[in-house]
Amino acid sequence: MGLIYGYLLVVTSVLLHTQAHDRRYHGVAYHLRNVTFSGHFLHINGRLVCNEGFSMLDAAVVCRQMGNDSSHVNIMYDGTAKANTSLIGEGCRGSETRLQQCYFGIKSGCRRTIPVSIMCHKGEKQKTNITVLPSNSIRVYNGTTVTVTCLAKGRYMPSEYWYTWTLANTSNVVGSSPSISLRLDEAFRTKKNLTCSVAVRNQTQGNKSIDLQVLGDPPPLEATYDLHVGEILELDKDCKARCNCSLRKVKGHRDQDSFDKIPCNMSITNKSQSGLYIIRRTNYLNVTIGEPRKGISAEVVEIQVSDKPTIECPEQQYVISSGSKRHQMCRFQSPWFIKNCTGDPQASCINCSIHTNEIHNRGNFTCEVGYSNKRLNESNSTTFNIRLHILNANWTVLVMTGSNISLHSPNCSDTNSNNYTWQILSDDGKVSGNHSQLYNVTTSANYVGFSQKMANTLMKLEVLHEPEVTCDQKVSHPLGTRVSLKCSVNAVPGFSYITWTRHGEVIGNTNSDTWDLGDIGMVDKGGYTCTAYNTMVDDCSNETREGNGSCTITLDVYVEGDKRTVTVVASVLSLLLVCLMGVVGVLSGLLHVARREERRGNQPTKMLPLLTTPEPVKGVPPSDIYENA
């Protein structure tokens, strides 16, 4: 009988426990009687439900129960209402069609009164809205500190948003909180972009930018201005909108009684405007934060006015006929420009320049130049007449560097060279000097020969020199790779051949300045010498000389990754060795001190006399002796 009662008790307990579980979590009607969805808020039994422990699976079941699309569900933060009911239990698995089928129960009260706000919709998920305050553009007076706030609103809790502030679209991070404070100074004279980027769980939600700009007093002017008649002095440069300018001229040791108001773009019309001026500038600062104000500056400026800039237009110009190169006949400074450029009937002239490859461009030209912002007249323009000679290179003379030569020598040129007077030709087309006799020649140049009986001629004097060889002093390559060793050669005339040597032995003669090595090994380490040779023949002395020059490349071969490993290991071992030496030194010092103290403590002491006489050893009874029977 006792066994029967015990069995019934166990069965009853299990059934009661199962019934209690069902009543609490399996959607008993009086627990979740009325589920409504109003204004994106979830109501159960007429009460607003808070979002504690409410998952995306739970929200999908709610959308499905309300007859809405459950493919895209968002749980949003909305602080416009306060919830007073909490859901308890394990929640939904996601396949249910009604919230009553989930493992839920309800209770009164919430730890946080933020309600469940659900969006059931198709397509893209809801985007985060970002707002930056105070405005899209901030203009302040120099030195003002401003506070900028970035607000993100979307389906996440405010604490889940991460903020990053960057300046001028760069990686220059200036803040990582919703609100930051910046002191705007001279660095913000020009507009700079401040961007707030918002992210949640390493996913970018969006960004918002505003412009920052500092308005201040007009920036300083230059101490001295060198100007020409017809130029404009820009006093309003970097002076913001509504800039007003005035000045008074300093005469002797005193200045004018009052300021004369002038345009901020001051025209220079004559040389009498030269002198010292006190210039005052004011601008209206239309700031968005703070009170509007004026920026004011007053400075002493010296203005020096010259009548006309220097223009260089030689009447006689000699030009070498070449490819598509253009020759500028007049060289002048701004603000001058060419108004008219005319030549002989067949000559083509553009901006006082001609093509040097068109032989018919030789002849007479007229160029009229003047100020760029004035109409040309006799007072502010200048006319230049130019005779242009286009020459073909008749011959080239090769001489050794450092030679002393005579251009009249028949060996140096053609048979008619002694009938000419030679002048050197510069890049601007001018000729100068008498260079029939040359000493210590080191530079190549072009010479024009003049004769009364024959046409002008052109000779190119080219200075010969031995090869100048340059290369990398040391190169490193990993084991087993292909390597090209290269040297650079500068020689007149060019090099005839190159030899590559290693350890004093020639490993190759070539016409190339590159030596290739394939699949290098450790045996390929060492120095490789590149030697270039050329043959120089002096036209004036008929001397023939062979020149050479060389450089050495040291090849280092290493196993891939060894360099770094060996370097790190060597550094660690060096550090350990230094530490070990330091420890040994400290221990040696401590041991020395300890031994010194021990010696002090073990000094010999005087022997004290014995106060008692030792007692004699008492007799010991003899032991039994057993003899062998």
Least confident segment among 269-273, 358-362, 461-465, 619-623: 619-623
204 and 242 belong to one structural domain: no
pLDDT digits (tens, 9 = 90+) for 541-596: 888 999 999 999 999 999 876 554 445 555 667 788 888 888 888 888 888 777 77
Q: 6 and 117: one domain?
A: yes
Verify that 524 and 542 share a domain, yes or no: yes
d(CA 537, CA 493): 9
Asked if the model's pLDDT at residue 129 lies above 60, the reply is yes
Structure tokens at 182: 């910046």
Position 30, amino acid: Y
Q: Which of 411, 438, 410 is nearest to 422 (CA)?
A: 438
The stretch 98-106 carries a mean pLDDT of 83
Phi, psi at residue 591, to the nearest 5°?
-65, -40
> In the 8-state DSSP scheme, what is residue 582?
H
Return the beta strands (E) in 176-242 as ranges.
179-184, 192-200, 203-215, 224-228, 232-234
Note whether 235 and 175 are same-domain residues.
Answer: no
- Its domain, for residue 84, covers 2-121
Dump the DSSP string for 265-328. EEE--SGGG-EEEEEEEEEEE--SSS--EEEEEEEEEEEEEESS---B--SEEEEE--SS-EEE
Which positions ≥6 away from 530 have C-beta within 8 Å? 469, 471, 485, 487, 498, 499, 500, 513, 515, 550, 551, 552, 553
Q: Residue 283's closest CA among 138, 137, 141?
A: 141
HSE, side-chain direction, 13 A CA sphere, residue 144: 20
Average pLDDT of the chain is: 79
More confident residue, 599 or 126: 599
Model pLDDT, residue 37: 78
pLDDT category of residue 470 using cuts at 50, 70 and 90:
very high
Is 3 strand, coil or helix?
A: helix
**Tens of pLDDT, residues 239-293:** 766 788 888 888 765 555 677 888 888 888 888 888 888 888 888 888 888 888 8
Give the pLDDT mean for 37-43.
81
Kindly state the average pLDDT of the residues 428-442. 86
Query: Is 415 within the bounds of a domain?
Result: no
Give a yes or no: residue 277 inside a domain. Answer: yes
Give me the pLDDT at residue 267, please: 85
Asked if 478 and 369 sit in the same domain, the reply is: no
Instruction: Count how many residues are written for the chain.
Output: 629
User: Which tens digit of pLDDT belongs to each residue from 253-264?
Assistant: 555 567 788 888
Whether the pLDDT of residue 626 is over 60: the answer is no
Q: Of 25-39, 56-70, 319-333, 431-445, where does mean pLDDT reach its minimum?
A: 25-39
Q: In sequence order, what are the beta bridge partners of 120?
A: 73
Domain endpoint, select from 69, 100, 121:
121
Query: At 570, which helix (H) or strand (E)?
Result: helix 562-601
State how far the Cα of 93 lies from the Cα of 26, in Å rounded to an integer: 13
The yes-or-no verdict on residue 466 having pLDDT over 80 is: yes
pLDDT for the residue 218 = 85
Q: 309 and 331 in contact (C-beta within 8 Å)?
A: no
Do 82 and 22 sit in the same domain of this protein? yes
The predicted structure's pLDDT at residue 137? 86
Whether 615 shows a pLDDT value over 60: the answer reads no
Q: Which of 525, 531, 523, 591 is closest to 556 using CA atoms?
A: 525
Arithmetic mean of pLDDT, 474-493: 93
Question: What count of other Cβ atoms lies within 10 Å of the Cβ of residue 375?
Answer: 9
**Span 12-39, average pLDDT:** 50
Q: Select, from the ranges 3-12, 245-254, 382-391, 400-409, the one with the highest average predicted confidence (pLDDT).
A: 382-391
**Is residue 402 assigned to a domain?**
no
What pLDDT is recorded for position 628? 39
Tokens matching residue 259: 């300021």
Residue 213 near residue 286 (C-beta atoms within 8 A): no
Q: What is the pLDDT of residue 3?
A: 47
Cβ within 8 Å of residue 459, ≥6 positions away: 393, 394, 395, 396, 397, 407, 413, 417, 422, 446, 447, 448, 449
108 shares its domain with 32: yes
In a domain, 45, yes or no: yes
Task: pLDDT band for 524, please (50, 70, 90 cuts).
Answer: very high
pLDDT tens digits for range 366-399: 988 877 655 666 556 788 899 988 888 777 888 8
Confidence of residue 77 (pLDDT cuts 50, 70, 90): confident
CATH code of the domain covering residue 241 = 2.60.40
Domain boundary (284, 306, 328) is at 306
- Please check whether residues 26 and 117 belong to one and the same domain: yes
Looking at the domain assignment, is residue 94 inside a domain? yes
Q: Does residue 617 belong to any structural domain of this protein?
A: no
pLDDT over 50 (residue 7): no
Of the residues 63, 86, 121, which one is the last residue of a structural domain? 121
pLDDT of res. 555: 94
Residue 483 has pLDDT above 90, yes or no: yes
The pLDDT of residue 437: 85
pLDDT at 379: 58
Same domain as 320, residue 275: no
Is 487 part of a structural domain of the chain? Answer: yes
Could you give the 3-state DSSP secondary structure of residue 571?
Answer: helix
Question: 501 pLDDT exceeds 90?
Answer: yes
DSSP of 24-61, one letter per residue? HHB--TTTS--EEEETTEEEETTEEBB-TT--HHHHHH
pTM score over 0.85: no
Contact (Cβ atoms closer than 8 angstroms) between residue 460 and residue 448: no
Instruction: Answer with the residue of higher pLDDT: 415 or 110.
Output: 110
**In angstroms, how far is the first alpha carbon of the chain from the final one?**
94
455 falls within a domain: no
Element (H, E) at 576: helix 562-601
Q: What percent of the chain has pLDDT over 90?
A: 16
Answer yes or no: do 117 and 12 share one domain. yes
CA 246/CA 225 separation, integer angstroms: 17
* pLDDT band, very low/low/confident/very high, at 198 (cuts 50, 70, 90): very high
How many domains does the structure of the chain reveal?
5
Question: What is the C-alpha separation between 221 and 202, in angstroms, rounded?
Answer: 50
Going by pLDDT thresholds of 50, 70 and 90, the confidence category of residue 325 is confident
CATH number at residue 187: 2.60.40.10
Do 246 and 296 lie in a common domain?
Answer: yes
pLDDT score, position 515: 92
Q: Is the pLDDT of residue 201 over 80?
A: no
User: What CATH number is attached to the domain comprising 78?
Assistant: 3.10.250
pLDDT above 70 for 610: no
**Least confident stretch, 122-126, 311-315, 357-361, 476-480:** 122-126
254 and 148 co-located in one domain: no
